[in-house]
Amino acid sequence: MKLEVYIPDNLSEITLSKYQKYLKIQDKEKDENFLAIKMIEIFCGLRGDTIMSMKAKSIKDITLILTDMFTEKPELVREFKMNGKTYGFIPNLEDISFGEYIDLDTYIGDMENIHRAMNVLYRPIKQKHNDKYLIEDYTGDDPEKMKDMPMNAVLSSILFFYHLGMDLSIAMMNSLEQDKETNLAQYLTSEENGGGINHFSDSLKEILEGLKISLN
């Protein structure tokens, strides 16, 4: 009996939750054969016993396709559909609130909780005209829903912020009221923030290097 295998070949076909599931296993297990089985099991939706009965060459070929997929460097994804709604990337970072920034800075360097950062960056579009749109206000509610978002959007936003670097903090400080500006400046360089914006960039760099993505 011929086995038909669905192999995603684009990050838009992989959800954040699936990647987080695989990452937890990868962090604990270093055996490459076991990881290959889990990779195909999670991303292709096959049972472990089915994978074990497949030809070794097929396993190798599928693993290479999936591994290469995670080396993609997608352009910033500004819109995507998820669970019947269209989500948009925050239109103007200069309008970001202090609270939004803290949540973003806290979680964007942590793959286990990065869905919380995505909850800041991507929100349902409530109004749109041509390529301009407005997104819903940030409440911080139900970040778990963002685990269903596509990995190309997740990775593109990580790359976006990594390359943005210090410009992010400068833009946001300029947009805040004077008293809040002082608080944010202190936060960005504080020990409580793990060294501030440098820690922020280092965390993103670790994620990208873990995905074996070139930073050039």
pLDDT at 197: 34
Higher pLDDT, 125 or 106: 125
pLDDT at 37: 92
Q: Which two tokens stand for residue 195?
A: 């060294």
pLDDT at 62: 92
pLDDT band of residue 138 (cuts 50, 70, 90) is very high
Residues 6+ apart with CB under 8 A from 127: 133, 134
Please check the confidence at residue 178 and state whether its pLDDT lies above 90: no
pLDDT at 67: 86
pLDDT at 42: 94
Q: Which residue has the tokens 């939004």?
A: 100
Residues of the chain with pLDDT > 70, as a percent, come to: 75
Least confident of 63-77, 112-126, 166-180, 186-200: 186-200
Residues of 168-200 as b/e, b for ≥16 C-beta within 10 angstroms?
A: bbeebbebbeeeeeeebeebbeeeebeebbeeb
pLDDT at 211: 47
Relative to beta strand 85-89, strand 79-82 is antiparallel
Nearest one of 50, 128, 59 to 87, comparing CA atoms: 128
Nearest one of 212, 191, 202 to 69, comparing CA atoms: 212
Give 62: exposed, middle or buried? Use CB within 10 Å, 0-12, 13-18, 19+: buried
Quickly count: other Cβ atoms within 10 Å of residue 160's Cβ: 18
pLDDT band of residue 194 (cuts 50, 70, 90) is very low
Q: Which two tokens stand for residue 23?
A: 């990452």
pLDDT at 201: 42
Report helix angle 32-44 to 16-28, nearest 10: 170
Higher pLDDT, 57 or 106: 57
Cα separation, 189 vs 191, whole angstroms: 7
Higher pLDDT, 80 or 180: 80
Centroid of chain to Cα 70: 12
At 54-79, the pLDDT tens digits run 999 999 999 989 888 887 788 999 99
Please check the confidence at residue 173 and state whether its pLDDT lies above 70: no
For residue 170, give Cα distances in angstroms to 26, 107, 196, 200: 36, 19, 13, 14
Q: Which two tokens stand for residue 194?
A: 């793990």
pLDDT band of residue 82 (cuts 50, 70, 90) is very high
